[in-house]
Amino acid sequence: MMLAFSFLAVGTANSFVPLLSTKRGGVCSSSIPSMCLSQARSEAAARASRIVCIGDIHGQWNESDERALRHLQPDLALFVGDYGNEDLRVTKRISELAASSDFGVATVFGNHDAFYTASMNGRRRAPYDKTKSCHVTEQIKMLGPYDVSYKSFAFDSVGVSVVGGRAFSHGGPNWKHKRFYRDFIGVQGIEHSAKKMKDAVAASHHNTVLFLSHSGPFGLGDHPSDPCGKDWGDFPGGDYGDPDLREAIEKARKDGFRVPLTVFGHMHKQLMGNNGNRTMIKTEQDGQSRGETVMVNAAVVPRHKVGSMTSESLHHFQVVEMGDHGSVDSVSETWITPTGVIAQSDVIYKAKLEVLVNGSINRKCMNVE
């Protein structure tokens, strides 16, 4: 296993964080041999690590993004889907990046990744001959080694398992595109989807589990500006979150897994009609482990812009710092140039540590968004 130590300044010139870059250790799912099942679960603590979250791409991924990501030197990169409207160029680049990187990569698919396949209307509008090829099938093949949808991947050198949520999700409780899910994913309904996620959790190798999904979990609020809020009025469709993902998170907690982080996208930061910005962070107390789950929406769209102080393009990433205690220390909304200059890094969550009278440490969340 490749290990690489380095230092990187984030936010200020005097703030240095040690990093440990690793490849992922292995894959566990409900279809993997019994050596990966929960009775063989590793109780090793999660390591201090940097997790870089890449929100909805929508075609904005190129060599400059890859350079910027490498400058952040993640231990783990999480892609939340919506790479484009069945954009093979983007999925190919991500697959090649993952294969050549010295850090772990996990991906899921969003609703736009089946834009011309999931619905009859989409198939009619497809810009390619669907009798000769299917871009969904090609995307699944390209990202197969990194796609965690309904699976659990063990990242041994970081000490966590990543469990994937509903593939190609539109968000919300309505099970859309039944035929597509049956034929392409082998999933038939919300209950079946929840069961597959819970099976993946049970098969996780590590006691610390991170969830990665395109849409976030149900229960984060029902206002337009909430992390999974629906900001398009009475038009049909999601969101407000996936109930099957919520079931899997609660089951993981009940079974004694630590769930410090859930990462998703789908609902963009800028609300429709220029009605302000979405809340991108929410925290929950985990009554089973007495810990905290930080819910991170990474969908800042568009994720490219030009900086006011530089002619270089700026590229967006949500940067999550995990402590060796297995909890999230901070989340920063970061804009970085392809040459590694951090033009803007806004801390939107920070855990506050308090030393009590008896010398123990109490962690209190502080949402600073």
> pLDDT exceeding 90 applies to what percent of the chain?
71
Contact 313, 327 (CB under 8 A): no
Contacts of 333 (CB under 8 A, 6+ apart): 280, 300, 316, 318, 344, 345, 346, 348
Greatest pairwise CA separation for the chain in angstroms: 70
- What per-residue confidence (pLDDT) applies to 275? 85
Asked if residue 260 belongs to a domain, the reply is yes
- Evaluate whether 302 touches 52 at the Cβ level (below 8 Å): no
Confidence of residue 284 (pLDDT cuts 50, 70, 90): very high
The two structure tokens encoding residue 311: 């002619």
Write out the residue range of the structural domain in which residue 307 sits: 51-350
**213 in a structural domain:** yes
Measuring CA to CA, how many Å separate 314 from each of 17, 104, 293? 22, 23, 29
Provide the phi-psi class of 238: left if phi over 0, else alpha when psi is between -120 and 50, else beta: beta
pTM of the predicted protein model: 0.86
CB atoms within 10 A of CB 25: 20
Query: Out of 8-12, 124-128, 191-195, 249-253, which region has the weakest mean confidence (pLDDT)?
Result: 8-12
In a domain? residue 368 = no
Q: Residue 146's pLDDT band (boundaries 50, 70, 90)?
A: very high
| Of 43 and 203, the one with more pLDDT | 203
120 occurs within a structural domain: yes
What average pLDDT does this structure show over 259-270? 96
Q: Is 90 exceeded by the pLDDT of residue 259?
A: yes
Classify 336 as helix, strand or coil.
strand
Q: Is residue 8 part of a domain?
A: no
What percentage of the chain carries pLDDT values higher than 70? 80
Structure token digits, residue 276? 């302000």
Instruction: Report the range of poorest mean pLDDT among 128-132, 204-208, 231-235.
Output: 231-235
Q: How far apart are CA 306 and CA 344, in angstroms?
A: 12
pLDDT tens by residue, 80-100 = 999 999 999 999 999 999 999
The one-letter amino acid code at 228 reads: C
Tokens 């130590």, located at residue: 5
Paired with 304 in beta bridges are 315
For the chain, how many structural domains are there in total?
1
Residue 128 sits in a domain of what CATH number? 3.60.21.10
126 in a domain, yes or no? yes
4 occurs within a structural domain: no
CB 261 within 8 A of CB 320: yes
State the number of CA atoms in the 13 A half-sphere of 295 facing the CB.
25
pLDDT of residue 43: 64
Closest CA to 106 of 145, 137, 140: 145
**CB neighbours of residue 344 within 10 Å:** 16
The 10s digit of each residue's pLDDT in 4-57 is 323 233 333 333 232 333 354 565 543 333 334 434 576 666 789 999 999 999
DSSP per-residue string spanning 232-281? STT-S---S-BHHHHHHHHHHHHTT-EEEEEEE-SS-SBPGGG--B---E
| Dihedral over alpha carbons 350, 355, 356, 362 (to 10 degrees) | 30
Of residues 284 and 24, which shows the higher confidence score?
A: 284
At residue 120, the 3 state secondary structure works out as: helix
Long-range contacts of range 229-234, CB-CB < 8 Å, 24 or more positions apart? 229/267, 229/278, 230/172, 230/267, 231/267, 231/271, 231/272, 231/273, 231/275, 231/278, 232/272
SS3 195: helix
**DSSP state, 288?**
T
Contact between residue 168 and residue 119 where contact means Cβ atoms under 8 Å apart: no
Mean pLDDT to the nearest integer, 202-220: 96
Q: Residue 23 falls within a domain, yes or no?
A: no
Rounded Cα distance, 201 and 212, in Å: 12
197-224 mean pLDDT: 96
Residue 369 — pLDDT band, cuts 50, 70, 90?
low
How confident is the prediction for the chain on average, in pLDDT?
85
CA distance 356 to 362: 7
pLDDT, position 325: 81
Tell me, what's the pLDDT at 324? Answer: 84
Question: Is a pLDDT exceeding 60 seen at residue 287?
Answer: yes
pLDDT band at 265 (very low <50, low <70, confident <90, very high): very high
Instruction: Say if CB 38 and CB 204 are below 8 A apart.
Output: yes
